Amino acid sequence: MTSVARWQARLPPPVLRFIDRLLDRLAVSMARRSAGIMGAELLKHHIVFGHEDRLHLAPTAVVNNATFNTVSGEIHVGDWVMIAHGVHLVTGVHDITKLGAQRQVTAPFNDRDIVVEEGAWLATNVTVLGPCRIGKHSVVAAGSLVRADVPPYTVVAGVPARQVALVPRPEIDA
């Protein structure tokens, strides 16, 4: 008889059932936590379509599964920016005056930069079309399409995004 079996033999059946249920719950909880961590890591991977050296992410920015298109410009993401799931920042554009295969391969290389300033929050499924600047501490509501600059401390929403509120400014920035 092993030491574990001797230990179990001394315990009353209700205590053994309780320990068994507790161990089952612990195993399920650990499995869920492990799956959640793996899933969370997958959701934090972003895609760069274009030149990766044209994407500049501040080390404090939080970026989930976003797409960065740097074909026609650079993208700068400032400190403490939050980019939620399914966000697309697109500098690339095609020439509508071209037809067929020419339209597919004709795109400007510069001048469509996107800048996301400090503390801005781009909520789920936002699309930002360059060139534009998302101002300091501004908020872009879920599902919005940004086609123009967003002033600092502004909340925008809709397609196209329009101002719907203001973010309170702290005393030091006023």
Q: What is the DSSP letter of 168?
A: P
Exposed/middle/buried for residue 39 (C-beta within 10 Å: 0-12, 13-18, 19+)? exposed
- Among candidate residues 46, 76, 88, 94, the one labeled active-site is 94
Cα 163 → chain centroid: 22
**94 part of the active site:** yes
- Considering Cα of 99, then 103, then 107, then 113, what sign does the dihedral take? positive
The Cα 133–Cα 120 span in angstroms is 11
Nearest to 155 by CA among 168, 141, 144, 143: 141
Residues designated catalytic: 94
